[in-house]
Amino acid sequence: MSIANSQPFRPHHLDPDVRPSEADIESVLLSHDQIQTRVAELGAQISRDYAGKDPVFVSVLVGAFMFTGDLLRNITIPCSLDFMAISSYGKESRSSGVVRVMKDLDESVESRHVIIIEDIIDTGLTLNYLLENIRNRNVASVKVAAFLDKPSRRLTDVKVDYAGFEVPDEFVIGYGLDFAQRYRNFPYVGILRPEVYGGK
């Protein structure tokens, strides 16, 4: 679902008792209600597609934690959950392309149907690494569910099988996404002001 033509609203339209750090938000792209509606749709679609397959969801920490929790609440078939932690940003606003595995899976996924859960796909470099890593574990299949997709930033050809929203080439935060470990707790997705991260 693309939101390129949707009309964002400004932080002053939010509740009057906003947190001071919300002044760092240039505009809001996705409201909490929009997010919950779309995540429910994805959960229903995955449940239909994987009926009888008992998939294992691999959530990529830390950014995907909110999306993972909400998505699994909308999964109606037997499934299991594991986590990987990957680092490719640090305190930078762009992916470095250098991937480090900070935490590996706790259980074997051999012969399992795996669904990787990501917060956002931009260059595709991290996802490409993850896909190869999982495929090398002799899985039955592997697909990708991503909350946000930013195809304008692609540097490698990767497929997002279940995409929440397509977003423009802006630095987005909230709903699990961060800059320097801040803003993850915001219930919406917003564009961070460039002066905050030293951007354009």
Task: Please count the residues of the chain.
Answer: 200
Rounded distance between C-alpha atoms, residue 186 and residue 189, angstroms: 7
Rounded distance between C-alpha atoms, residue 142 and residue 154, angstroms: 20
Question: Of the listed 24, 122, 149, 178, which one is catalytic?
Answer: 122
Q: Dump the DSSP string for 139-151.
A: -SEEEEEEEEE-G
Return the bridge partners of 165, or none: 148
Return the bridge partners of 192, or none: 25
157 is catalytic: no
Omega of the bond prior to 99 within 30 degrees of 0, cis?
no
Rounded distance between C-alpha atoms, residue 91 and residue 181, angstroms: 8
Identify the pLDDT of residue 146.
Answer: 97
Q: Kindly state the DSSP code that residue 52 receives in the 8-state scheme.
A: T
pLDDT values of the chain reduced to their tens digit, one per residue, 200 residues: 545 444 444 444 444 443 447 788 899 999 999 999 999 999 999 999 999 999 999 999 999 999 999 999 999 999 999 999 987 654 454 555 577 888 999 999 999 999 999 999 998 888 999 999 999 999 999 999 999 999 988 888 899 999 999 999 889 999 999 888 889 999 999 999 888 877 65
Identify the pLDDT of residue 89.
Answer: 54
**Across the beta sheet with 172-173, what order do the strands follow?**
25-30, 189-192, 172-173
Residues 6+ apart with CB under 8 A from 117: 57, 58, 59, 60, 64, 67, 68, 71, 145, 146
Is residue 17 classed as helix, strand or coil in its secondary structure?
coil
Identify the pLDDT of residue 19.
Answer: 47
Identify the pLDDT of residue 99.
Answer: 79
Rounded distance between C-alpha atoms, residue 176 and residue 196, angstroms: 18
Identify the pLDDT of residue 196.
Answer: 81
Domains and CATH numbers, the chain: 32-169 (3.40.50.2020)
